[in-house]
Amino acid sequence: MRCVVANWKMNLSSVEAKAFCEDLLGRCAPESGTEVGIAPPFTLLSLVSGLVSAKGIKVFGQNAHAEAKGAFTGEVSMPQLRDAGCFGVLLGHSERRQFFGETDAALAKKVKAAWQWDLLPLLCIGESLAQRDAGQTLAVLGQQLSILAETGPGPLWVAYEPVWAIGTGRRAEAPQVREAHAFIRAELNRHLGAAASAIVPILYGGSVTPESFPELLGIPEVAGGLVGGASLDPKKFAELVKQAG
Ligand code: PEP
C-alpha cells in the first residue's frame, strides 16, 4: 500500500481550501491501493472532510491533545478531530517538536489517545542537521521510536522526515533515505513484532516534489510521502498521487 499525505500546515483560507479540493478531485481519483490524505488546519477540517471523504480521501488533524476534554485553552482533542471527520492525526511533526516543545513522553500519550478514539496516528520522526553531522541520525530515530515500547502495537503510519530537508528544497539523498527507512523497519520489528510491523507504512517527507518522488518511491521501504510545500498546489499534489498509484 502506498500513501500520499498533504500537510497544509498553517496555510489556506476556506475559499482556497474549497477550490483546492474541487481542483484535486477533478484531476485524480485515488487508485485502490493508494491512500491519499490531507491534513488541513483545524478550522478547515469539517469543510475539507465534507468535500473529500466520500471520494476516499482521508482527513488528518495536524496535532491533538491527549486528554479528551477539559481546561486546555487553545487545544483540540482526539474526539473533536473525529467529530470533524478525521481519519487520523499527525503526531510529532518536527515543527511541533521544535517550536512547541513536543516531547516523546507526550507523544506516547497522544498515540494511545488516538487509538482510544479510533484515529490513525501518523508519527513523524527525523534528525536535525546538527544531529546528522554528529553521526547521531540512527540514535535519534531509535529514541523517537522507543515510545512504541510503551504504547505497544496498534494501527500506525510512520513518516521519516529529516528536519534539514523540510521546507528547504534540499531532500535527502537516496542512500540516506534507504539507510533510515531500513533502520526504522528494524526498530518497528523489534518493538511491535514482525507481523504488526509489516502493516506499518513508512513515508518519506522533506521537499518532496513530482521531480523527486519517483526516485524516492523506488527505494526499499519507502511507502509514500508526507508533503508540505508541494501539497499546496493541487496540480503538483495530484501528480504525486498519480506517481504513487
Ligand atoms: C512537511 O511539512 O512534513 C514537509 C515535508 O514539508 P516540505 O514538503 O515542504 O518539505
Is residue 124 classed as helix, strand or coil in its secondary structure? Answer: strand
Phi, psi dihedral angles at 175 (to 5 degrees):
-65, -35
pLDDT at 169: 85
Q: Is 7 in the pocket of ligand 1 (CB under 6 A)?
A: yes
Nearest atom of ligand 1 to the alpha carbon of 207: 10
Residue 35 pairs with which residues in a beta bridge? 3
**Percent of the chain predicted with pLDDT > 90:** 95
Q: Give the residue, by CA position, lying nearest to ligand 1 atom 4.
A: 228
Query: Averaged over 217-229, what is the pLDDT?
Result: 97
Contacts for 245 with CB less than 8 Å, ≥ 6 apart: 2, 30, 31, 33, 34
List of domains in the chain: 2-244 (3.20.20.70)
For residue 227, pLDDT over 80 is answered with yes
For residues 178 and 219, is the Cβ–Cβ distance under 8 A? yes
User: For residue 218, what pLDDT band results from cuts at 50, 70 and 90?
Assistant: very high
161 assigned to active site? yes
Residues in the chain: 245
Instruction: Round to whole Å and give the CA distance between 161 and 177.
Output: 9
Beta pairing class for 120-125 and 224-227: unpaired
Determine the residue of 208, 211, 212, 216 to mutate for testing ligand 1's pocket, defined as the one with the most ligand atoms within 8 A of the Cβ atom: 208
109-122: pLDDT as tens digits:
999 999 999 999 99
Please give the average per-residue pLDDT across 86-112, as a whole number.
Answer: 98
- Name the active-site residue from 35, 65, 93, 221: 93
Question: What average pLDDT does this structure show over 27-48?
Answer: 91
Is the beta carbon of 166 within 6 A of some atom in ligand 1? Answer: yes
